[in-house]
Amino acid sequence: MKKPWSQRLYVRIYLAMLASLAITALLFGVVTHIRSDPEQFASGLETFGEIASDVLPPANAPQEMQQAALNRWRAKVRADLALYSAEGEKIASVGRPLPPWQAGQSGSGWLPGYPTVFALKLPDERWLLARRIKPPHRPPLSLIGVLALIALIMAIGSYPIVRRLTRRLERLQGSVDAWGNGQLSTRVAVEGNDEVASLAVSFNQSAARIEALLHAQKSLLANASHELRSPLARIKLAVELMQSQPKEEMQQELGRNIAELDQLIDEILLTSRLDAVKGDQDSREQVDLTAMLAEECARVNAHLETELATIHADARLIRRMLRNLLENARRYGSDAGIDVALQKMQDGMLQLDVCDRGPGVPEAEREHIFDPFYRLPGARESDGGVGLGLSLVRQIATRHGGSVQCLPRAGGGSCFRLRLPG
């Protein structure tokens, strides 16, 4: 549903800028008016005092002469005036009545208690009190015109800036809506280097990760469906043959197929769990890696060279990782034996090498063998394995802050190097 114009972000930002400008102009006008009223008047009176000392009749002049002088000056300075002697006696006044001069005042300044009345001390010790006559209020047309011009320029200049920003947000919203409707390949064009551009980059990265995760889940499901058919078909055939020709070989084959099916389901479930559960939710504890590695090497008669080492990890996942590495070496390493070495490195990492004397892995395939359900070209199902063992090794290593890679072994074979934080 299309939003009304009053709810659009660019309209709100635009109106907020205009409101800020209006408030600024209003405050500027108020401050200008306040500052221009008493201060300018006081400054003018100081100048007037210097002139008055020369123009006003002397202190001993008749009162009528001093009154006439105030009447002439009232029209020029536009103020109510009152003239007092040095002893505080009123000599003459003109305009509205003014408060009496206060004897305690020693110098020129605003009359205490009367912020609009200014007391001016003349050189001959007389006092002149004045209060400005406010003219009819007329707005400063020049100031209003300048502010109106500034407001117009601001309004015209800010609109395209604000609109450009909100257009990018609208395009981002459209991409998010499309992605939410199932178009997982949707990405946002990154424009500029501001917060909106950072938001677009974050969205693209998140969308790519989620798309890859969903693709991996779909691939896992498709491959699992394919891999499940083979042991199930063999089990079905073995059951049919046992009904007509029960033999010990058939029973053994049936047992192997059931064990393979059980292993496949177990590894699929573990792969799904590692994808769904964060690493900080594992049950981690101090694990004696040396003892665990010795137990697993004994199962496959591997030769072990090790140092004492412990790690803070999920013991069950670490055992599965070690077992998968050793089973992979036993399965493809012919009968030449398996060599395992564990050592502490200078950078604080633990390095585990599991080496065999098998046919080795071509350089182009050394990264692919860690993909789920991947088998080397020419590998047969009868060789064993379902293609998830090494994928689980990498998942578990990464989950514990480590890494694993496949390296060639001098003299033939492969070495799988596992590095984990010590």
Q: Taking the domains of the chain in order of start, what are their residue ranges?
A: 37-132, 187-276, 282-421
Whole-angstrom CA distances from 280 to 276, 277, 396 are: 12, 8, 13
pLDDT at residue 389, rounded to an integer: 82
Under a CB-based contact definition with an 8 Å cutoff, are residues 314 and 324 in contact?
no
**Strand 339-344 relative to strand 303-305: parallel, antiparallel, unpaired?**
parallel
Under a CB-based contact definition with an 8 Å cutoff, are residues 32 and 143 in contact?
yes
The list of the chain residues with pLDDT below 70 reads 1-12, 16, 20, 23-55, 134-144, 146, 157, 161, 194, 216-265, 267-282, 334-335, 377-386
Q: Output the DSSP codes for 337-352.
A: --EEEEEE-TTSEEEE
How far apart (Å, rounded) are the C-alpha atoms in residues 14 and 261? Answer: 66
Interval 170-220: pLDDT, tens: 888 888 888 777 777 778 888 777 677 778 888 888 888 777 777 766 666
Interval 27-67: pLDDT, tens: 666 656 554 454 555 555 556 666 666 667 887 888 888 88
At the top level of CATH, the class of 187-276 is: mainly alpha
pLDDT at residue 391, rounded to an integer: 85
The 3-class secondary structure across 82-150, one letter per residue, is: EEECCCCCEEEEECCCCCCCCCCCCCCEECCCCCCEEEEECCCCCEEEEEECCCCCCCCHHHHHHHHHH
pLDDT at residue 70, rounded to an integer: 81
- What's the token pair of residue 33? 């008016």
For the domain bounded by 37-132, which CATH number is listed? 3.30.450
313: left (phi over 0), alpha (psi -120 to 50) or beta: beta
pLDDT at residue 232, rounded to an integer: 67
CA 114 to chain CA centroid, Å, is 58
pLDDT at residue 244, rounded to an integer: 63
Question: What pTM, to 2 d.p., does this model score?
Answer: 0.47
For the domain bounded by 282-421, which CATH number is listed? 3.30.565.10
Task: Using DSSP, state whether 245 is helix, strand or coil.
Answer: coil
Mean pLDDT of the chain: 76
How far apart (Å, rounded) are the C-alpha atoms in residues 16 and 22? Answer: 10
pLDDT at residue 35, rounded to an integer: 47
